[in-house]
Structure 1
Amino acid sequence: MTDAVVGFVLEKLESLLVHEANLFRRVKGDVNLLRDDLGIMNAFLKDSEGKGDDHYMVKVLINQIRDTAYEAEDVTNTYMAQVIKQRRRKLLMKLFHWFDHAFALHAVAEKTQSVKKRIENIYANKTTFGIEAQSHVDEEAEQSLQQRRRNVEEEDVVGFIDDTAKLVDQLTNEQRLHREVISIIGMGGLGKTTLARKIYNDARIKNRFDHCAWVNVSQEYKTSVLLLDILKCFVKLSDEMYKMSNEELKVMLRDNLKGKRYFVVMDDVWKPRFWDEIRACFPDDLNGSRILITSREKEVASHASSTPPYFLPFLDKERSWELLCKKVFRGEKCPSNLERLGRQLAKKCKGLPLSIVVLGGILANKEKTQQTWSNLIGNVNWFLIDDDNKRCSDILALSYSYLPRKLRVCFLYVGVFPEDFLIPARTLIQMWVAEGFISVENDSKKMDEIDVAEYYLEQLIDRSLILVASRRSDGGVKTCRIHDLVRDYCIKMSIQEKFYEVRVNSADLRRSSNSSIPRRLSIQGNIDSESISSSRTSNNSISVGSLLLFNSYFHYNPLNWALKNFRFVRLLSVEVGKSSDYFFTFSKEIGQLVFLRYLRISFWGPIVTVGSWKSFPAYICKLPYLETIHLKGGAAMPMPNEIWMMKQLRHLYASGGIELEPPSKVGHTLSNLKVLSFVRVDGKTSILFRKSLFPNLRKLHLGIYSPHVIDTSTTSEILASLESLQNLQIFKLSDLKVGRRLDLFPSSSSESSSKLTKITFVKCEFLDPNHLMGILGKLANLQILKIKNCDMSSRQLHFMAGEFPQLEVFEMIGVGDIATWELETHAMPNLQHLFIRGCDDLRNLPDELWSLANLRMVEVSAIQPDLREKLMIKQSKLKKEGYSCKLILRPGYYSPPWPCSPPRYF
């Protein structure tokens, strides 16, 4: 497991030396030597992966490789920074500094030689060190791990009553005669095995099925052993059976199950191909036979069956407390003086049975006093991760070790966020890209790094390591989180790997668990200036490549401190708390962060402080690698004309808006810009788009806080100019008045070829909404349409036949003037989700809506009582008729959101 971070560092260094060869042309020989050494190191890591993680000599060597790789990275960065700065100097200064550069990189090449000799020595003496002997599965260690797992997961965990009932009903359904595979999916320690055991022992299961079998699969299984384990549940094994081939055993198993109604539990399945190997053993005799699979991997479930898997939920607060009491007091009642502390401890486990069971075992063996329990309150998860029996860490390590190498660093990185943090998915994947975690394969059609990162996120979700907190209307992940126990496991592993460290107070900042400096630093909570100045990290800032400051209260400017102490950062994310008492300003030193790829400043403070963001500094535009700029908080910010020189810029966000002027020089474009949000429009805005200055723009937000500044003809002109954005997919318009003469993508060819998939209108005024809908309805690829807090200037909304052919999601929120909505037959044929909220005057939903074949959910809230009464009747009728669409009626009154209300963290 320990080579994931090291391998990433080596590969990143090799890639850097190749792609930035121009910077190293004066020391080409030394660079080639360094690349060779890095290649040998990486080859050793790949060759030894999984063959000796617990072998002392291998661990020592990997640690040496890691330290040398980090040292090589530091000196290489130093050299690159000198070269980049040299290019900005005058000729005389360039000649004066050149000799230092060659010497610096040559020193790295020399330092790698000793490690290279060690690697060669290890290759020559594999057998001596026992590396080859470790290449097979350590069966004794595997059995020990499985026993520890069963000691935790097969405890008589409370709850699961509803879960058991639902699944037993599904498994014993007499109307479904085909053999079915049903799966229970969830993260390690959630209780999948416990639930499966409850089901297996249920009386209805025993009465329904002729034969029942249970088999533990695990990561490293042997097909022959599994087949024999199933067979022994049906027949007595003979000596001859142990000598049979896999194919012979499969035939025997199938023959024994032929004509019988059977129920087989396959616990802890990891590999999708497992089902392909054994599916032929299970005949389908149309008698209701069932197979139950438990897994942490969603792909296992989808590969084995089209039946949706059952995702096991976490325990609620009461069930958590009940389980902890059961483990600690073993039938006795909890003393009243410990109940408050006990409930706090149970709450810290966040509903994960693994945490609760292990914590209960620890508490059961300790003195049951308020002092003892109080000492655990703030350190529950660390205590669980570091417990002597390694029960928690071993179970979590199974998921980590099974991850592909490319996903391991992405997973570990999620630990940099604070506890209970709702992580914006787009922020996370942009950080992954900036850190260099995302590798795009070289194929005929190169994928975008952001798309690959989003795929990586879905992979980690499907493996039950990252939890979805909310999804966007297009189905993508909006926010995500991880369980606290998983977070602490990530932090523990990252400290071992010197990958990153988390500091939550001033004492943490003054000390470090490693003798060397972490490569990334996440500071959370209140840090005083004395701790900052005395921090060993500040004095060795060359090693820190990423700095994240979360929701802290500062008596100083954290940006200036970061610029002074961390000059080699690639990623800088600063979130300033509401109570900070300084003027937040950009410093010229930010232009010295020559490796910066990602800059995020999120500020929620007094207006006087926000007002200090008067303009965006031109020196930021000279940073050669900067790809993402994200500014949250503050007023409109004029952009300097130098921004048109940022060929590498991909994402530009500013919550207060940006003011853009056309470039002063012909030929300057933002050719790589994918996201622009948001631009404050004016009379010159249409010129920006007519000149094709954003050829690859995928997402655009236009708006202005004062609707009356821009007249309707100017708005129409701006919208018509968007025709030049051939790659635009997502468009948002805010606070603008749209007239009757609306020319949005005016030519018929543009309507059919438009790539627009999502359009959102917020606080807009439409003088002719039905004309607008007629234009939007012709966009062939439009899938999502949202109308929020808009003045429609009409009492009626009418969608004609053939309009919105691909629309899947339609939202109307806070639209108060629409009274009737008419929907012709064959309009919106693909609509799946409809959301209506706060539409005070709406008196009907069209009858044609319920005949849409693809409609799956209609959610309505904050409406008039008469419409609610009609929909309640419709809801009852839909249930009685077994209609597949869910009609959800939510109570409450609609309250428009404050325009500047901050999110919880970002």
Structure 2
Amino acid sequence: MGVSKSLLSHISDGYTKCKDGCRWLSRVEEAEVKVEKLKNSSSQEIGKLCLGGFCSKNLKINDEFGESLTKMLEEVSTLTNEGEFTRMTGTILEDRPDERPCETMVGSESTFHEVWRCLVEEQVGIIGLYGMGGVGKTTLLNKINNRFREMPNDFVVIWVTVSRSLQLENIQNTIGRKIGLFDDSWREKSMEDKALDILRILSKNKFALLLDDIWEQIDLKKIGVSPPSSENKSKVVFTTRLIEVCGKMGADQQFKVECLRNEDAWDLFESKVGDVTLNSDPEIPELAELVAEECGGLPLALVTVALAMARENTPEEWERAVVVLKRLAHEFSGMEDQVFLFLKFSYDHLPTDTIRSCLLYCSLFPEDHSISRKGLIDCWISEGVLDDRNGIQNEGYRNINVLIRACLLEEAENNHVKMHDVIRDMALWIATKVEKESGSFYVQTGAELTEMPEIEEWENVRRISVIENKIESLEIIPTCPCLKTLFLNNNHLKMISGNFFQSMPSLKVLNLSNNPSLSDLPSEISMLVSLQHLDLSGTAIKELPQELKSLVELKCLNLEHTCQLQAIPHHLISNFLKLQVLRLWECGSSNEVAEASVLFNDAESLVEELLCLQHLNMLSINLKSDHAFETFFKSKKLQNCTQSLCLQSLPRQNCLKALVANLKQMDTLKIMDCKCLAELQLDCSGEMGRLREACGFRSLHTVNISSCPKLSDLTWLVIAPNLKCLVVSSCSNIKDIFCDKKISDIPEKIRKTIPFAKLEFLELQQLKNLKSIYWNAMPFRHLKEIKVIGCPKLKKLPLDFNSAKERKIDIEGEQDWWDRLQWVDPVFSTLFQKFLVRTDD
């Protein structure tokens, strides 16, 4: 007992502030364990003594015990002497972190200040910094590390570079070195013992653990780190490319590190190229801006390209750089080994080959192209990237979300996504040079092509994309036995030769959309016997040829925005027995419709044919007659698979009660020219849980209602919690958007939800009797724009301080209307005046 006390008498808080002291204390605690063992064994030996209590009956044990005791006394003596030495000479534990190399920050200062502001708040313990590879996350973490050097020495700052292959013991070793535990005995310890040693030291210190480049959750307790709390006031900051890691790490705050804005990107690029090069020829600065634009604001690409161009002082070299970066980015100096290989880690880390194929497919679209989620999933299904089974649409959306969370795709407006230009270049490099897809991708988008290019190896190509060119005709006869996807959309097509399709037996996806001068299809399209996806949206097609009946494998047919379509032969649609996706939004909306067409008589025959499609799971449609409407709403299946619905000119419908029942997938609703419509009624019968499950409005994000003169309110929108866009126009009888009397009839759980929680755009036009939107102020956390025109009786807007918190809301309206608005507090008028955009200027 005396030995242990003599050891512990040397322990003081001061020892936890020096590396030698930390190591010494760890050895002291180990010695304590040994002393306790000797004490226990000594009491056992006393009972075995002979010769008057001076000798053990077992001479061998007597010698071993004596030898252990002697060694223990020597160890205690050594620790005591070292303790005195450590007390005098121990170096201060390096609270001041090692300075990290840190470039001058360009464009991300505001993010740094936000992060630092959170770090000084006691309630924020764990912070995650996420973003695509090369965006500057490590630079930001370096800056945080160096800022700690400027602070008082009250944090032990520990930097750990984690990397892709997570090795918890390596993290422990890095921490051990930093806090003075790493020596020969440390190497022999188990992970559990190392964790205990780290915990002993860090529990006596306020620490900041900086983890760079983590790809999966790190169990802090397993490595000996107590999670930060308001009691220990410690911090953990980490960087990752995967937003889901922020959740798994329990981040109190997470910050997305974005690419640089154009001005900041140019400043970074300019600083790396240097004035000497930029001023060597008057043409270079303008060309240099074009080169910088190709980097999409990604710091890694900007620096790599800028350094490669730093000594190029002729306009010709800069012009070539623009062309190479646009067409063959992987051939540009440094892009492959310094940029693409670095970004490829994100691709390699994707959980399945299917999701990797989904990413590569996205590279077929042009730079900065807004890609429809629906259209993308349709292509994946038809080409076979996704397995054909139940729930396949949901799998498609899940895959898109995985790519977004991995920062390989970006959210865009109106249910679209985008792919960053450099990520796209990387994906094309993988598809054409690295993976098994090598040689099978041909992509020339936005290349000013006026005719279909000659491809050297037509026989091997599997995917061709020539989107956004100026091709007017297709007259060549390519032989493409392996071709599966052909994107010809957004061109100037007027004519397609019948022979063009004759040697494409494997083609599954054909996109001819947004060719506004394309009015006819050749009958030879029937030769595409494997075709599963045909997109004719946004064309001037007047008639679908009868020969399309041969396309018996068709799963997806898109005829949206084909306003000039006059004829769809009877029994053509019903012939596509495998059809899963049919898009007919604004199809044949002109008045010139042939009698021998299912579009005749307001498409009543079309709705009848839809009932034959047993595999249909996605539908967009316009209903223009009472008969079509009634037939449609008698079919639960058609309602369940409807995604976009337009109700137009329904003369007898005065109450649309059926809408609440089955439209589970509906995301877009348009109602126009329904002169008798007085009410969209909520059916709240049955249990609350059943109503919530049954109502289709949880998917609803866009509503457009116009020219319904008897409609008095839109109270039913209270069960559309995810609504993003609402446009209401020329409904002269509407007095309230939400009627408080009707809301009182709605079940309490729904009634308590605040409407418009996700609304981004609100447009109210020519509503001469509108008096109220909502009776209380609404937080409008996502609102971007309000447009009010021709609503003279609307005297109040449901806005307050919270509505404009840290956000700009554009308010369009006449000055006279604005001046007559009434506010709960006059200061609100001043607050929102700066957001007003006058429409009467």
User: Same fold by TM (over 0.5)?
Assistant: yes
Note the C-alpha offset of 1:687. Answer: 4.1
Aligned partner of 1:549 in structure 2 is 488
Aligned partner of 2:131 in structure 1 is 186
Following superposition of structure 1 onto structure 2, how do residues 333-732 of structure 1 map, counting pairs within 5 Å? 334-335=279-280, 337=282, 338-364=284-310, 366-380=311-325, 382-383=328-329, 387=333, 390-404=337-351, 405-439=353-387, 448-470=391-413, 472=414, 478-496=415-433, 497-498=437-438, 499-504=440-445, 512=455, 517-526=460-469, 533=476, 538-539=478-479, 541-554=480-493, 556-557=495-496, 560=498, 562-577=500-515, 584-603=519-538, 610=540, 613-621=541-549, 623-631=551-559, 632-642=561-571, 643-658=573-588, 659=599, 660-662=603-605, 668-692=611-635, 694=638, 696-704=640-648, 707=649, 710-711=650-651, 713=652, 715-716=653-654, 719=656, 725=662, 727=664, 729-730=666-667, 732=669
Note the C-alpha offset of 1:728. Answer: 5.7
Query: Is 1:304 aligned with 2:274?
Result: no
Name the CA distance, whole Å, in 2 between partners of 1:161 and 1:688: 60
Note the C-alpha offset of 1:354. Answer: 0.8
8 Å contact 2:197–2:224 — kept in the other structure? no
Aligned partner of 1:755 in structure 2 is 696
Note the C-alpha offset of 1:576. Answer: 4.7
Note the C-alpha offset of 1:300. Answer: 0.9
Greater displacement, 834-843 / 545-554: 834-843
Query: Is 1:288 aligned with 2:233?
Result: yes
Note the C-alpha offset of 1:703. Answer: 3.9
Note the C-alpha offset of 1:768. Answer: 3.6
8 Å contact 1:761–1:790 — kept in the other structure? no
8 Å contact 1:190–1:353 — kept in the other structure? yes
What per-residue deviation string (whole Å, max 9, x for no partner) do you get for residues 524-555 of structure 1? Answer: 35476899627xxx12x221011111322346
Aligned partner of 1:767 in structure 2 is 709
8 Å contact 1:812–1:839 — kept in the other structure? no
Note the C-alpha offset of 1:293. Answer: 0.5
Q: Give percent identity, aligned residues only.
A: 19
8 Å contact 2:126–2:236 — kept in the other structure? yes
Partner SS state of residue 671, structure 1: coil
8 Å contact 2:795–2:822 — kept in the other structure? no
Structure of higher CA gyration radius: 2
Partner SS state of residue 564, structure 2: coil
8 Å contact 1:857–1:888 — kept in the other structure? no
**Per the alignment, do residues 762 and 830 of structure 1 end up closer, same or farther by CA in structure 2, a change over 3 Å counting?**
closer
**Per the alignment, do residues 832 and 665 of structure 1 end up closer, same or farther by CA in structure 2, a change over 3 Å counting?**
closer
**Per the alignment, do residues 768 and 787 of structure 1 end up closer, same or farther by CA in structure 2, a change over 3 Å counting?**
farther
What letter is aligned with 2:504? F
TM-score (norm 2): 0.73
Note the C-alpha offset of 1:865. Answer: 3.9
Q: What residue ranges of structure 1 are gaps of 5+ in the alignment?
A: 1-151, 473-477, 605-609, 881-885, 896-906
Aligned partner of 1:256 in structure 2 is 201
Aligned partner of 2:8 in structure 1 is none
**Per the alignment, do residues 201 and 681 of structure 1 end up closer, same or farther by CA in structure 2, a change over 3 Å counting?**
same
Name the CA distance, whole Å, in 2 between partners of 1:667 and 1:653: 12
**Per the alignment, do residues 323 and 627 of structure 1 end up closer, same or farther by CA in structure 2, a change over 3 Å counting?**
same
Task: Decide which of 113, 118, 138 is 1:170's aligned counterpart.
Answer: 118
What letter is aligned with 1:424? S
8 Å contact 1:841–1:864 — kept in the other structure? no
Aligned partner of 1:34 in structure 2 is none
Name the CA distance, whole Å, in 1 between partners of 2:416 and 2:161: 34
**Per the alignment, do residues 728 and 514 of structure 1 end up closer, same or farther by CA in structure 2, a change over 3 Å counting?**
closer
What per-residue deviation string (whole Å, max 9, x for no partner) do you get for residues 236-270 of structure 1? Answer: 62111122211122222222212322212100111
Q: What residue ranges of structure 2 are gaps of 5+ in the alignment?
A: 1-99, 589-598
Aligned partner of 1:24 in structure 2 is none
Name the CA distance, whole Å, in 1 between partners of 2:224 and 2:793: 55
**Per the alignment, do residues 513 and 871 of structure 1 end up closer, same or farther by CA in structure 2, a change over 3 Å counting?**
farther
What letter is aligned with 1:453? G
8 Å contact 2:470–2:491 — kept in the other structure? yes
Note the C-alpha offset of 1:218. Answer: 0.6
8 Å contact 1:791–1:816 — kept in the other structure? yes
8 Å contact 2:671–2:705 — kept in the other structure? yes
Note the C-alpha offset of 1:822. Answer: 6.0
Task: Decide which of 761, 764, 772 is 1:821's aligned counterpart.
Answer: 772
Name the CA distance, whole Å, in 1 between partners of 2:194 and 2:832: 51
**Per the alignment, do residues 163 and 867 of structure 1 end up closer, same or farther by CA in structure 2, a change over 3 Å counting?**
farther
8 Å contact 2:281–2:314 — kept in the other structure? no
What letter is aligned with 1:792? C
8 Å contact 1:689–1:725 — kept in the other structure? no
What per-residue deviation string (whole Å, max 9, x for no partner) do you get for residues 779-826 of structure 1? Answer: 85665385424222136315214356354445641323254206458x
What per-residue deviation string (whole Å, max 9, x for no partner) do you get for residues 640-686 of structure 1? Answer: 33123434323222343253333799995333333333324124313
**Per the alignment, do residues 852 and 183 of structure 1 end up closer, same or farther by CA in structure 2, a change over 3 Å counting?**
closer
8 Å contact 1:787–1:813 — kept in the other structure? yes
Query: Is 1:201 aligned with 2:146?
Result: yes
Aligned partner of 1:794 in structure 2 is 733
What per-residue deviation string (whole Å, max 9, x for no partner) do you get for residues 750-781 of structure 1? Answer: 977433332755352233433x535x26x856
**Per the alignment, do residues 722 and 200 of structure 1 end up closer, same or farther by CA in structure 2, a change over 3 Å counting?**
closer
What per-residue deviation string (whole Å, max 9, x for no partner) do you get for residues 679-698 of structure 1? Answer: 24124313422542726423
8 Å contact 1:670–1:694 — kept in the other structure? no
What per-residue deviation string (whole Å, max 9, x for no partner) do you get for residues 30-57 of structure 1? Answer: xxxxxxxxxxxxxxxxxxxxxxxxxxxx
Aligned partner of 2:811 in structure 1 is 861
Name the CA distance, whole Å, in 2 between partners of 1:318 and 1:831: 29
**Per the alignment, do residues 199 and 848 of structure 1 end up closer, same or farther by CA in structure 2, a change over 3 Å counting?**
same
Q: How many residues align?
A: 698
8 Å contact 1:829–1:852 — kept in the other structure? yes
Name the CA distance, whole Å, in 2 between partners of 1:194 and 1:716: 62
**Per the alignment, do residues 510 and 238 of structure 1 end up closer, same or farther by CA in structure 2, a change over 3 Å counting?**
same
Name the CA distance, whole Å, in 2 between partners of 1:217 and 1:227: 11
What letter is aligned with 2:431? S
Partner SS state of residue 821, structure 1: coil
Aligned partner of 2:13 in structure 1 is none
Task: Decide which of 671, 688, 692 is 1:734's aligned counterpart.
Answer: 671
Partner SS state of residue 310, structure 1: strand
**Per the alignment, do residues 180 and 247 of structure 1 end up closer, same or farther by CA in structure 2, a change over 3 Å counting?**
same
Following superposition of structure 1 onto structure 2, how do residues 7-156 of structure 1 map, counting pairs within 5 Å? 155-156=103-104
Note the C-alpha offset of 1:189. Answer: 0.8
Note the C-alpha offset of 1:226. Answer: 1.2
What per-residue deviation string (whole Å, max 9, x for no partner) do you get for residues 550-591 of structure 1? Answer: 322346327x4653342321111113555x5xx521232233
**Per the alignment, do residues 249 and 723 of structure 1 end up closer, same or farther by CA in structure 2, a change over 3 Å counting?**
closer
Name the CA distance, whole Å, in 2 between partners of 1:822 and 1:545: 51
8 Å contact 1:732–1:760 — kept in the other structure? yes
Higher helix share: 1
**Per the alignment, do residues 320 and 230 of structure 1 end up closer, same or farther by CA in structure 2, a change over 3 Å counting?**
same
